[in-house]
Amino acid sequence: MVIFGLMIMILMLVAGGIAVDTMRYEANRTKLQNTLDRAVLAAASLDQDLDPTLVVTDYFAKAGLQGYTLDVDVEQDTVGSYRKVTAEASIDVNSLFLHMVGIDSINAPATGTAEERVLNVEISLVLDISGSMGNWSPTGGKSKMQLMKDAATEFVNTVLVDEQKDLVSVSVIPYNGKVNAGTLVANHFNFTNEHNFSNCINFSEAMFSTTTIDPLSPLPRMGHFNKDSTSGSMTNPWCPTNEYGAIIPWSNNKTTINAAINGLNADGWTAIDVGMKWASILIDPSTQANLSAMAVAAPASVDPIFAGRPVAYNDRDTIKVVILMTDGSNTNQYDLKNEFKSGLSNVWIYERSGQAPQFSYYIPENNRYRDPWDNTNYSTPIGGSAARQMSYVELWSRYNVRWVADNIYPTSGGASSPYNWKNRIRNAVAQHGGQTVGDRRLAAICSETKAQANRNLVIFSIAFEAPPSGEAALRDCASTPSHYYDVNGFEINEVFAAIAQTIGQLRLTQ
């Protein structure tokens, strides 16, 4: 019994010793693992300027660890957008009791990996430049346009920091009652070719139900016209002929972008839906060929570093961002009716050096040419064989629609008469969009864009002292309620800054 009792005592001591050694092992392993986890997280940070291996080693030294083995592996790119640190460590924990059974030490291992990368970013910045943006902001002390320009330029300066500007592309889409695509976009996208005076697109209803464009299906170019002016010479066309307010596609040049933003003025109606449509196009992968054409042009109009953009929506290394702002709601949009957009008009012009042109117009109903000055029908146009028939493109490029209706087409017959070409021409321009149509189209393109959203696409919307209808439309467009902002005055600065900060946080994965 004495011997048995001694054996039991020894076994109890061994069992207790195992428990003590196990606790010491686990305490040392936990300290080793916790130290390694903190070390690799700090070393992987892109804000960390020290050598990652030295950072890990320093963490172990400051933790008071001794007698450990450590292996550190670092992967990183040359532009500071990616770093991955993997470390393996181990330490031998000497046994206090287990040596009695032949175990002098226990090896405690620890492993850990931390990765931080700056994602590529594709941004569509959609800015309202309609007439109401010129109104004074009661709480901002400036016009809404100036407040918006201040906020937008600061946003651009924040997202296009020099050391990472090759990772961020910004497309700027100013809009009022239309969007001036500009010569650059028109030259590299497939526009219909009725004319080349201006570069606005009149998207069909169906086009708002998709973010993609078909390179084989031309985008319908808006007619070139002035709707209301009663002066003779065509001035101030509905779609600008110059580069004012033109789209800036896929740029990382903050000087160019900010100069364009600061050159914007408030004028015109409001077509939020068209602005959002262009925003969706410029982040959609279907436009990769368009961007590539701009990048390889001589000189390149898009930085070649962006070749391959816009990337697929599920690309894990890229986030896509739309920022849509307005101070109003959808209003009037106009275009020439299709029958008056192209082809030959029924206007004949007789031009002689040093003299004002003379006009006549053909009346197909009676196969005669009417002289608007004496209101008489003739078998030939004024000027006879020296007269020539004008195309609609030439007619509207030289003369305003209202002036043509009132001066070339005098009333002939009642309002219902087939001879009443005056009313036909006065109605050559039709309203194809207003609040109801614009809101429906906006909802469609926002919904389709959000359908691509998964984790890589987000829509921010900003209602800047907007009416309830505009607020509702933009609230519906935002990715979530937290991505919608209702702001007044200087708050627009704070919102753009907050969005820039959020984009910065979205760009980091760890």
**Averaged pLDDT, 407-433:** 79
- The pLDDT assigned to 22 comes to 62
> For residue 419, is pLDDT > 80?
no
CB neighbours of 277 closer than 8 A, spacing ≥ 6?
Answer: 203, 207, 208, 441, 445
Q: Give yes or no for a contact between 225 and 238, defined as CB atoms under 8 angstroms apart.
A: yes
**Averaged pLDDT, 44-58:** 84
271 DSSP β-pair partners: none
Task: Give the residue with greater pLDDT, 421 vs 449.
Answer: 449
> Alpha helices of 267-349 — where are they, by DSSP H?
272-281, 288-296
- The pLDDT assigned to 506 comes to 73
> For residue 489, is pLDDT > 60?
yes
Give 250-287 as a DSSP string.
Answer: EE--HHHHHHHHHT----S---HHHHHHHHHHTTSGGG
Per-residue confidence band for 410, with pLDDT thresholds at 50, 70 and 90 = confident
Task: Give the residue with greater pLDDT, 287 vs 116.
Answer: 287
- The pTM (predicted TM-score) of the whole model is 0.82
Closest of 194, 155, 203, 150 to residue 175, by C-alpha: 203
> Alpha helices of 116-248 — where are they, by DSSP H?
144-159, 182-188
Map residue 41 onto helix, strand or coil.
helix
> For residue 24, is pLDDT > 90?
no
- Percent of the chain clearing pLDDT 70 (strictly above): 88
Sign of CA dihedral 176, 182, 188, 194: positive
**Averaged pLDDT, 213-235:** 92
Mean pLDDT across the chain, nearest whole number? Answer: 88
Task: Give the residue with greater pLDDT, 27 vs 146.
Answer: 146
SS3 percent helix, strand, coil of the chain, rounded to 5, is 40, 25, 35
**Averaged pLDDT, 312-327:** 94
pLDDT digits over 125-173, tens only?
999 999 999 999 999 999 999 999 999 999 999 999 887 788 999 999 9
Gyration radius of the chain's alpha carbons: 35
Q: Give yes or no for a contact between 377 and 368, defined as CB atoms under 8 angstroms apart.
A: yes
Task: Give the residue with greater pLDDT, 53 vs 46.
Answer: 53
- The pLDDT assigned to 241 comes to 95
Q: Which of 34-38, 69-73, 199-203 has the highest mean pLDDT?
A: 199-203
Token pair belonging to 294: 């701009």
> For residue 9, is pLDDT > 50?
yes
Task: Give the residue with greater pLDDT, 92 vs 235.
Answer: 235
Closest of 287, 285, 277 to residue 441, by C-alpha: 277
- The pLDDT assigned to 5 comes to 53
> Rounded to whole angstroms, what are the CA distances from 185 to 198, 246, 290, 355, 468?
12, 9, 8, 40, 34
Q: Give yes or no for a contact between 328 and 434, defined as CB atoms under 8 angstroms apart.
A: no
Closest of 99, 137, 195 to residue 465, by C-alpha: 137
Least confident of 90-104, 206-220, 465-479: 90-104
- Percent of the chain clearing pLDDT 90 (strictly above): 64
Per-residue confidence band for 238, with pLDDT thresholds at 50, 70 and 90 = very high
Closest of 403, 423, 408 to residue 347, by C-alpha: 408
> For residue 96, is pLDDT > 60?
no
Task: Indicate the burial class of 503 (C-beta count within 10 angstroms; 0-12, 13-18, 19 or more).
Answer: buried
Task: Give the residue with greater pLDDT, 243 vs 113.
Answer: 243
Sorted by where each starts, the structural domains of the chain and their CATH numbers stand as 1-117 (no CATH), 120-335+432-507 (3.40.50.410), 341-427 (no CATH)
Q: What is the DSSP letter of 206?
A: G
- The pLDDT assigned to 510 comes to 45
Give 62-102 as a DSSP string.
Answer: HTT--SEEEEEEEEE-SSSSEEEEEEEEEEEEE-SSGGGGT
CB neighbours of 15 closer than 8 A, spacing ≥ 6?
Answer: none
Sign of CA dihedral 134, 135, 141, 145: negative
Per-residue confidence band for 249, with pLDDT thresholds at 50, 70 and 90 = very high
**Averaged pLDDT, 416-434:** 84
